[in-house]
A and B are shown apart, each in its own frame.
Chain A
């Protein structure tokens, strides 16, 4: 500790000795790290597993159920119809399953002068909250999957409309319909929102209001993202019937298959389902059954953010260039101190003691570079958020990410210091000390 305080004093002394070259080195290192950190932040949020304890068991089944014959059409649509969900729901293999889609609407409190507020809605079934570990703060999910004028609010929505969360039994007007609140979720988020990848909505916040699936069909509530109709029905009329019976594709369907045996059984179930549909003449297209695991879903729907991948490569290359340049500047600084290194060694400092000094330099540089790099990263993230508004949900740092970035700053500082310091401290002693 006594040595460390001396080494620290020397590090600060060295900075004061040549502040401009030092500031330049630090600035280059910080810019490189800042760009890298901003990308790492996006990359971390985009590629993390939001439900590590559950994700290996969550699957999205797809069947090639479009009623127009097409022998070369091997891949199912990105969304399912009401009937698809109904048929797939007939299996008892999954421990949980839910059909769903995203919608939007306007909500307000009844008997108030306030105008309606736009809200995001997830139309879904009772198992949704089990599937994605959405915790309830008050109340619970619906008793079954039947239609009912009951909704579940997200924590933020409860605060937005009522200013509090304990609002069970309260009523809310949504697009002119009166609903009773039966549950309030805790302040839950899921990033990336992998259940919505097929709509390209993986980096948007979870929805504010949750409506029963059957109720939405009764009321003609449709998805506000991917929809496809494959027949000539008018889906703006009598959606309660047309939406259920017609070829109107808008739904996602998630199942929880706890074991590999259940997963194999479910695949068999899907094959059997298609075979029986074919027998009944309702499945003219080839069997294109797919069962995607949640962690593969972005690849499966080709929704992996290639811009982010490209940015990752560029930011790594940029960091390397910055490291190289900072190392060059650092080399000049250390070579200027070569005499002092040699003198210290001549007067009895061991290489280990000099390494202690260098590691203190690394620590000081690493900490300063880390703080500056965080500032640069923040600016970069704000810029990226401006250019790509969809990334705004990714603009935050968790302690583990900050720790990782700090380790990265120390490593970069070590790399920048290592070679120059090695060159300076291991040069022949007699040359430097001669007049």
Chain B
């Protein structure tokens, strides 16, 4: 699903250059649930942004679903994001004065789906995250956990190949965090590929694979737990 080789990213200012990512090699197979951890400033969000094509890289190669991202035009990247990637952000990133329905419908608008198909997909996504009755609510009328479920519904509505989650429980209390994690696990069991950035070792352990990044480099101590084994443990 994801295959990156020798990926480098440097942030440059007038005064300094910071090597944010250094020769990163990473593969994520279809159906995997990978947790990306590391201390603050280690480069995990930068890596996630690059994987989500929200940020460019300086060298190396990135293949998503067998397609090389290197050198893609802006409009091709937009289409790629729209069709293959679902984003879940720490701060939910919902448009406050749009209804839940309108928020979830947003990426589908740019996909060119008909009104009927958009409606069907939004209803399905809302059903999946357990918010079917809240379609006309505004985000501010929901709890943090519910808002994050709306964001997950928005990410799912376009049937993406992979979900990229950047600290999806970072702004939630423990109860809501647990509910969101359970939802992500359930989605993964249903076959959804997930790559999640997290600070929380407990959450990282719940993922199928745990990849650590330190000072812009992947640590050797990556832990791999096969999905089947994980299913048995549960």
Interface positions of A (Cβ within 8 A of B): 6, 13, 17, 339-340, 343-353, 428-430, 433-435
Contact = CB atoms under 8 A, between A and B. Distances in A.
Contacts of A17: 97
Nearest to A352: B75
Nearest to A353: B110
A343 B95 contact: yes
Interface string B84-128: 000101110101010000000011011100000000000000000
A350 B75 contact: yes
A249 to B, nearest CB: 75
B91 A351 contact: no
B93 A433 contact: yes
Given A340-B95, A435-B91, A435-B170, A346 B106 contact: no
B81 A430 contact: no
Given A347-B107, A435-B170, A13 B87 contact: no
Contacts of A343: 93, 95, 106
Contacts of A429: 49, 54-55
Contact of B45 (A339, A348, A351, A434): A434
A350 B171 contact: no
B79 interface: yes
A228 B151 CA distance: 88
A350 B74 contact: yes
B75 A344 contact: no
A430 B50 CA distance: 9
B154 interface: yes
B91 A430 contact: no
A433 B167 CA distance: 12
17 contacts: A17-B97, A339-B93, A347-B82, A348-B81, A348-B83, A348-B107, A348-B111, A350-B79, A353-B110, A430-B49, A430-B54, A433-B54, A433-B87, A434-B45, A434-B91, A435-B91, A435-B167
Q: Is the interface of A mostly helix, strand, loop or mixed?
A: helix
B110 to A, nearest CB: 5
B106 A347 contact: yes
B59 interface: no
Given A13-B97, A347-B82, A350-B79, A430 B110 contact: no
Q: Which 6 A-B pairs have the closest CB atoms?
A: A348-B82, A435-B91, A347-B107, A350-B78, A350-B75, A429-B54
B55 A346 contact: no
Instruction: From A6, A352, A435, name the one whose CB has the most chain B CB atoms within 10 angstroms.
Output: A435
Nearest to A14: B97
Contacts of B79: 348, 350
Contact of B75 (A339, A351, A434): A351
A348 B78 contact: yes
B74 A351 contact: yes
B52 interface: yes
B72 to A, nearest CB: 12
Nearest to A428: B55
Nearest to A429: B54
Interface string B9-38: 000000000000000000000000000000
Nearest to B111: A348
Contacts of A433: 54, 87, 89, 93
Contacts of B93: 339, 343, 346, 433
A428 B107 CA distance: 19
A384 B8 CA distance: 67
Contacts of B90: 434-435
Contacts of B110: 344, 347-350, 353
